[in-house]
C-alpha cells in the first residue's frame, strides 16, 4: 500500500534556496486572493504562512472551482514545487501539483482568526481552538512551554529533584474555606490548594531539595483580571537552609527565565510586540513595616498586622517598580507553618515577591519543631488532629527548611504585558467558566 504523505516540511523549513524542490505542506486556508490570471492561496501552519500560486491557464477548471468554493480555515495539504520569488512571503511561493482537502470548515466562523476584527475575550475563550490559530495568541503558549522548560532546567542544575504530590487531599493546606470539596467514596476530600504539606514532608525523607510544577485549586469567588480558580504553581522546598537562601534561588530563577526567553523566543516576542527588560538580582528588599510607612507617605493608611489590599499593592508597585521583596511580615498574617523570628515572635521569616502589577510568589522559612508547629496550628484556630498525617513527619527528625510557590500564569502575564490572566492559560477556570 502506498504511503500517504500529508506533510514533509513546516513553512519555516522552506527557503528560496530550495528553488525547484518538491515539498508537501499542510495547514489551514488562511486567505484566498483571486487576481485575474492568478489565484493565491495563503496556507498557514504552526510556524508561519506559505503562498500557493495557481496559474489559471495551467490549472484544471475542476481544481480551480474546488479551491474557490473552499471556506476559510479549511484544512488542506499541498504537494508542490518551490519557486524563488522575492515578492512572495519569505521569498518563495509554492506551485502546486496536488491539493488535498482534508477537512472543510463550517461557516460562519465564531470569530475572526486573523484578529483584524477584534473579539471579546469571552468569545475567544468559548472558541479557544480557533482563538489559538491567531499567531499572537498561539505564541503565548510557545513561550509558556519554554518558561516551564527553563524553570525545570534551572532547578535540575541546582540539585533539585522533581516530585509529584497528591491533588486530592484530606485537609486544607492553609486552613480557611477556600476549598473545593469532592466526594471521595464514602468521605469528603478536597482539591489541593498547594503542595505545601507534602513538600515539607519530603524534607524528612532526606531528598533535601524538591520541586513541583502542577495545578493548584482555590475556591475563592474572585472575578478579577489576576485571579484563577485553577492555576499552575512552581514550588520548591529545601532542607538545611533559611528563607534568605530560597529568596536567592527565586530571584536568580526569575532573572534566568527572562534571559532565556529573550534569547530563545525572539520571534514569539516580536509577534507579541514585547521587548523584555533586563532583570538582574539581587532584587530590592523592604520590610512590611517599611512598606506601611511608604504607603502612609502616599496617602494609603493600613494598620500594622493587616494584609496588603489590592490598592495598597498597586501604590507600592508604583513606588518600587521592577521586582522587589516584602520581608518580615506579621506572624498573624502568614500561615501556621511560617517560622517566627527568635525574640520577636510577632514577626516571621516570610517574604512575597512583588511585581508592580501583582504578587508573583510567596515563601518562608518553615517551623521544623513538632511542638512549635502544633501550637501554631492551634493558635491559628485549626485542629492538630486534622493535620496528624503531616505532623507525624516532624516527630522523627525534621531538618530546618524553607521554600516558596511561584504563580506561572502571573509570571507570564507580567512578563508578556498581558492584561488578563485568562489569556495565558489554555482553558481558564474562574468563578463563571467551567467549559470548554
Q: Give the model confidence (pLDDT) of 116-169 as tens digits.
A: 888 999 999 999 999 999 999 999 999 999 999 999 999 999 999 999 999 999
pLDDT for res 177: 59
pLDDT for res 407: 98
pLDDT for res 115: 81
Query: Cis omega before residue 108 (within 30°)?
Result: yes
pTM over 0.85: yes
User: Rounded mean pLDDT of 366-382?
Assistant: 96
Q: Is the pLDDT of residue 349 over 90?
A: yes
Q: Is the pLDDT of residue 369 over 90?
A: yes
Hey, what domains does the chain have and what are their CATH numbers? 11-103 (2.40.50.140), 130-283+322-424 (3.30.930.10)
pLDDT for res 36: 81
Report the distance separating Cα 271 and Cα 65, nearest Å: 34
Q: Give the model confidence (pLDDT) of 178-199 as tens digits.
A: 889 999 999 999 999 999 999 9
Q: 302: buried, middle or exposed (CB in 10 Å: 19+, 13-18, 0-12)?
A: middle
Residue 402: partners with Cβ closer than 8 Å, 6 or more residues away: 237, 238, 241, 242, 243, 245, 246, 349, 363, 364, 365, 366
DSSP secondary structure code for residue 306 in this structure: P
pLDDT for res 35: 87
Name residue, grid cell 477548471: 61
Q: Give the model confidence (pLDDT) of 377-434 as tens digits.
A: 999 999 999 899 999 999 999 999 999 999 999 999 999 999 999 999 999 999 999 9
Q: Give the model confidence (pLDDT) of 23-64 as tens digits.
A: 999 999 999 999 888 999 999 999 999 999 999 888 888 889
Report the distance separating Cα 338 and Cα 408, nearest Å: 23
Q: 279: buried, middle or exposed (CB in 10 Å: 19+, 13-18, 0-12)?
A: middle
- In 356-386, beta strands by DSSP E: 358-365
What the block records as the C-alpha cell of 338 is: 511560617
What the block records as the C-alpha cell of 39 is: 489565484
List the beta bridge partners of residue 98. Answer: 79
DSSP secondary structure code for residue 303 in this structure: -
Residue 119: partners with Cβ closer than 8 Å, 6 or more residues away: 111, 112, 131
Amino acid at each position: 500500500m502506498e504511503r500517504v504523505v500529508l506533510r514533509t516540511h513546516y513553512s519555516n523549513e522552506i527557503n528560496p534556496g530550495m528553488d525547484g524542490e518538491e515539498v508537501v505542506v499542510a495547514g489551514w486556508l488562511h486567505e484566498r486572493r483571486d487576481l485575474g490570471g492568478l489565484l493565491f492561496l495563503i496556507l498557514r501552519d504552526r510556524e508561519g504562512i506559505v503562498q500557493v500560486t495557481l496559474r489559471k491557464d495551467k490549472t484544471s477548471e475542476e481544481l480551480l472551482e474546488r479551491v474557490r468554493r473552499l471556506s476559510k480555515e479549511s484544512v488542506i495539504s499541498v504537494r508542490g514545487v518551490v519557486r524563488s520569488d522575492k515578492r512572495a512571503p519569505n521569498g518563495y511561493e509554492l506551485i502546486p501539483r496536488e491539493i488535498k482537502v482534508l477537512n472543510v470548515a463550517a461557516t460562519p466562523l465564531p470569530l475572526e482568526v486573523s484578529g483584524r476584527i477584534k473579539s471579546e475575550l469571552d468569545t475567544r475563550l468559548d472558541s479557544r481552538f480557533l482563538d489559538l490559530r491567531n499567531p499572537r495568541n498561539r505564541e503565548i503558549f510557545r513561550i509558556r512551554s519554554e518558561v516551564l522548560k527553563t524553570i525545570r532546567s534551572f532547578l535540575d542544575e541546582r540539585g533539585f529533584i522533581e516530585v509529584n504530590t497528591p491533588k486530592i487531599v484530606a485537609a486544607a493546606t492553609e486552613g480557611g474555606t477556600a476549598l473545593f470539596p469532592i466526594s471521595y467514596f464514602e468521605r469528603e476530600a478536597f482539591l489541593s490548594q498547594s503542595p505545601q504539606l507534602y513538600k515539607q514532608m519530603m524534607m524528612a525523607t532526606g531528598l533535601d531539595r524538591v520541586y513541583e510544577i502542577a495545578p493548584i485549586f482555590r475556591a475563592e469567588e474572585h472575578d478579577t483580571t489576576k485571579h484563577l480558580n485553577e492555576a499552575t504553581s512552581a514550588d520548591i522546598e529545601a532542607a538545611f537552609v533559611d528563607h534568605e537562601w530560597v529568596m536567592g534561588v527565586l530571584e536568580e530563577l526569575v532573572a534566568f527565565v527572562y534571559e532565556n526567553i529573550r534569547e530563545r523566543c525572539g520571534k514569539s516576542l516580536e509577534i507579541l510586540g514585547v521587548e523584555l527588560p533586563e532583570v538582574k538580582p539581587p532584587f530590592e528588599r523592604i520590610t512590611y513595616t517599611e512598606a506601611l510607612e511608604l504607603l502612609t507617605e502616599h496617602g494609603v493608611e493600613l494598620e500594622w498586622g493587616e494584609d496588603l489590599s489590592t490598592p495598597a499593592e498597586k501604590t507600592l508597585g508604583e513606588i518600587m517598580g521592577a521586582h522587589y521583596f516584602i520581608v518580615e511580615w506579621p506572624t498573624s498574617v502568614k500561615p501556621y507553618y511560617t517560622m517566627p523570628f527568635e525574640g520577636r515572635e510577632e514577626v516571621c521569616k516570610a517574604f512575597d515577591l512583588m511585581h508592580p502589577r501583582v504578587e508573583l510568589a510567596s515563601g518562608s522559612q518553615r517551623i521544623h519543631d513538632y511542638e512549635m508547629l502544633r501550637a501554631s496550628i492551634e493558635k491559628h484556630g485549626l485542629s492538630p488532629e486534622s493535620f496528624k498525617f503531616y505532623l507525624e513527619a516532624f516527630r522523627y527528625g525534621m531538618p530546618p527548611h524553607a521554600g516558596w510557590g511561584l504563580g506561572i500564569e502571573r509570571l507570564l502575564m507580567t512578563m508578556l504585558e498581558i492584561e488578563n490572566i485568562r489569556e495565558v492559560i489554555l482553558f481558564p477556570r474562574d468563578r463563571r467558566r467551567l467549559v470548554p
